[in-house]
Structure 1
Amino acid sequence: MMKPAVAVHEPLRLTEETLSLLTWRIPDLVAYQHNHDEWWFAPLDDNLPIVRLNRTGLDMLQAMNGHTTVGALVKKYGATICGPDGQPGQWHLEHWALPTYSLCYYGTEPPGGHRHKAKWDLLLQQVREGWSGNEGFEGESHLEDFHQHELTDSGKDDGHFDLIETTVSHLFREPNDALNGLTYGRLLMKQLRKLGWFTPKPRVIVEVGGGLGYLARELGKELLPFEKQTIRYISLDITQPFLTLQVTRAKAGGWGGIGTRANGEWLPFKNNSVDLVIDNENMADMTPVKLIREELLTGAGTTPQHQEALDWIRRVRLPIGQNVPENVIFNLGPFRFVAELWRVLKPGGLRSRSCFGGVG
């Protein structure tokens, strides 16, 4: 199997500013001692090259501990051969921090903070998604697994949506001039009233994927206490730490604070049991499937999930056309979600959905 082409980057210029930066070696490294004076290193990415070092090069890599500047390393190792390929230390310092190698990080502050290694997470994410010059399909279960199993320590603060999964929605947590001095949640509640969605008043409101809970809190603050007494506000999320925050902030907004951990593609509610569903910025995180040309042309899926996607394409009469690409990513999750909404909403039930767009 051929490796994808790696994006080409010019060597880093060791300017005065760069020389003053501190250095950190990346923690996620594969290391192999080839012989008594040769070590091989590479990040956890198959598309990045192996760097071969001798004892001097190993010492330089180990010196990247957050206390040593680039300039100090140039002074000590710059003219010394650091590996069996014959490059001096300065060559390595001009290349290791580039996306092509991704062995280290130069900066004024340590790459830490939220989730302990957030900036390393970002660094590795760039390595895996963009720096190698390719953005591949990560798998049909990747998003669900990520939100269900990999965010176990993200409920202690708001940093995940500020650093890792950034959107503009968090800008609306506070009153904003663009929203007439209101928070997004308060303005949304005003609009729901204006549209008549609270006449009659809903008995069951479900918020799907409520992030950090600010929307629930602000929606509740716009209502008087007696208006919320007969309303059950249910927060539903697949990520337990976020669900905990949602329930806490819903209570701060005067709601009863009910939370249920579930996938929005399979809502755990009876038919015709919900009056209002609120959904912000979730559909892009739902299940995608990667269909091949033959499946699209024949209508026969290679897996049950692919067949489900093809059935939806046929049911909603999406045109296939003649020039079908070799692969097509079909966002199956939103179709499941909308079908579930149709099932659980009461006759005349309503849904509020919005998407602010991503910032990346």
Structure 2
Amino acid sequence: MKLFEYKAKEVMKKHGIPVPDGFVVSKPEEIRSLPGPVMVKAQVLIGGRGKAGGIKPADTLGDAKKVAASILGLNIRGYVTKQVLLERRLDVAKELYLSITIDRSRRSLIFMASASGGIDIESVPEDKILMMPVDPIIGYQPFVGRHVASFLKLESEQAKQVENICAKLHELVVEEDAELAEINPLVITKDGKVVAGDGKITIDSDALFRHKDYESLPEDLTPLEEKAKTLDIAFVQLDGNIGVIANGAGLTMATLDSINMFGGKAGVFLDLGGTDDPEKVKSAMLLMSEANPKVILLNIFGGITKCDTVAKGVLEAIEAKKIRIPIVARIKGVNEEAGRTLLKNAGMIPAYGLSEAAELASKESLKVI
């Protein structure tokens, strides 16, 4: 479960991490006073807010109301802005990156730090990023924070503040059952304070029974995600142009990895689970078509699922919506020959293995129309 920035900062503040003074509103008229010059920030669970016009400065109360009005209702990559956070503008001297997350390969928590803050950490060269694991047996120790501060080459006073923030971030993820706590940027102000300029927290959904206050928080769903929830279909929107329909979380993840390996990029993935109900498959296919992918990759492994009944549901959707985009179909398992024949006769691109399917879909997605 991802938390909105305002809520993430409330949690950080609760654990002793410095954050700017601020408040959240859903209407411009709710803004009655300011803590000084502010940044007005769209509260959506997606990146790229600044480029989309979702983060703007305001100096006066009147400016803040006008800016809030321009951001509220703004559609940012499918997410409609329903709230804005107004917080004191920081006098920035330097921006850093700091996060703590779960490293499943090491089976431990791990800190990530970089002197290049304020940008996507994935765009930072590996040699500019510190990866500092926390020993799960002895737990967090002060030397972890000291090592992070040393890597960032901070002066004594700022180093002490970062060491304290590292300890508090570790406390946060343990006590809140968080999978990720990220501060990007971690701001050093011109008067030497270290403050969380932005905040992201992801809570383990399986631990929500221990955190009833999170269960009542509103979800930030796109119209398609709302529809998928109604249909009880696992549906996630991403940044690429390949639509992936698979059955089972493991197969879906393997399909996404294979697409990346061949230079493609998934734009949405949909997990059918164990169903082969033609009506549900049809609904899933229609939902996928609404996401407007450039190509669809259908990857089905039939254990309990029957490949021919899945194929029938796909064909019903194609006929109902007159779907004309390329579809790469890889089906394996129970009644696969019958299912493959149905799909091939309908003009789909057949594939016999995962790598072949991912390569074909990636090539289709990269074609210039």
TM over 0.5: no
TM (normalized to structure 2)? 0.29
Larger radius of gyration: 1
TM (normalized to structure 1)? 0.29
